[in-house]
Amino acid sequence: MALRLCANLSYLFTERPLLDRFDAAARAGFLGVEIVRPYEAPAAALRARLNDAGLRAVLINSAAGDWAAGERGLACLPGREAAFRDSVHRALDYADALGCGLIHLMAGIRPAAVAPERAAALYAVRLAWAAEQAHAAGIRLTIEAINPHDIPGYFLSSQGQAAAYVEAVGADRVGLQFDIYHCQRTEGDVSRRLAEFMPIIAHVQIADAPGRNEPGTGEIGWAHLFGRLRDLGYAGWIGCEYVPSTAGPASLAWRVRYGLPPAEAPRTPIPETRP
């Protein structure tokens, strides 16, 4: 089975302004893109660049809250109900405008003064509410476990914890966003965890560990893992969410090394529908 790569425009081609990264991704052979912070530009401008480049919007993140103040999502934070709901509605508006079928709902960092049980209760209720809003709009949410080295205190820290929430809400409404880099940094045993959670995985992201650079720069066995994804029948997108270790085309050469060459398909504007 062919694996599909999408470029994370918040990590790749960052020497250019956000709106110019779409064309760069298309010229590099990508057919899809994902964006951590799409709210830096109007949705209509993003849509125009998608169409001009012949790209598909695969995934966007919900707003993280006050990033400068250290917020990394709002779903588990007491006292942020209104801001959380506004962030969900805004994400849904952007996803609709972009024809994007997946929204990563950021969980947030549990404040030290908030008991784990309280944060868990808030998160469960808010995730269920957001999932219903998204489902009504024909969009699926994803949730992701993030390693404590990169974001200390992030509410979701293991694949099993995230998977339990997916199962509780329903995999038709919420899918697991399996980030191989985060899994390796926190838990390891990536091959077995991919197999265990494959039925609920909606999206995969990649970066090598420990430096979060492109595949082939660290300790992860990518030839094995890409083969494992094929063997498991993974049909979703693979988001390239890594920090390039070098500038220019050299940071993309790993695709050929691991049998994932740039796409050669002709590019035409994508229709106003989601995948």
**Catalytic hit among 144, 167, 196, 214:** 144
Could you tell me whether strands 32-35 and 56-61 are parallel, antiparallel, or unpaired per DSSP bridges? parallel
Told to judge if 144 belongs to the known catalytic residues of this protein, a careful annotator would answer yes
Q: Which residue type is seen at 266?
A: P
What's the token pair of residue 25? 């991704």
Rounded to an integer, what distance in angstroms lies between the CA atom of residue 148 and that of residue 100?
A: 29
**Catalytic hit among 40, 167, 214, 241:** 241
Rounded to an integer, what distance in angstroms lies between the CA atom of residue 140 and that of residue 136?
A: 10
Considering only CA atoms, which of 139, 146, 5, 17 is closest in space to residue 75? 146
Tell me the three-class secondary structure of 195-261, residue by residue. HHHHHHEEEEEECCCCCCCCCCCCCCCHHHHHHHHHHCCCCCEEEECCCCCCCHHHHHCHHHHCCCC
Task: Please state, in angstroms and as integers, the Cα–Cα distance from residue 45 to each residue in 34, 100, 128, following that order.
Answer: 15, 15, 31
Q: Could you give phi then psi for residue 67, rounded to 5 degrees?
A: -60, -40
- Catalytic residue numbers read 144, 241
